[in-house]
Structure 1
Amino acid sequence: DKTIVYVCKECGTITFFNQKTNEFFCPRCQSSVEVKPLITSYASKLFIDELMSGHIDVRLSVKEET
Structure 2
Amino acid sequence: MRTRYRCAACGNLTRFDVTVTRRTRAFHHYSIGGELNVEDTEVLSEVVEEVACRWCGSGAHVEALEDADAG
Q: Same fold by TM (over 0.5)?
A: no
TM-score normalised by the chain length of structure 2: 0.39
Higher strand fraction (1 or 2):
2
Whichever of the two has the greater Rg, that structure is: 2
Which structure's residues are more often helix, by fraction? Answer: 1
Per the normalisation by structure 1, the TM-score is 0.41
RCO comparison, higher one (Cα < 8 Å, 6+):
2
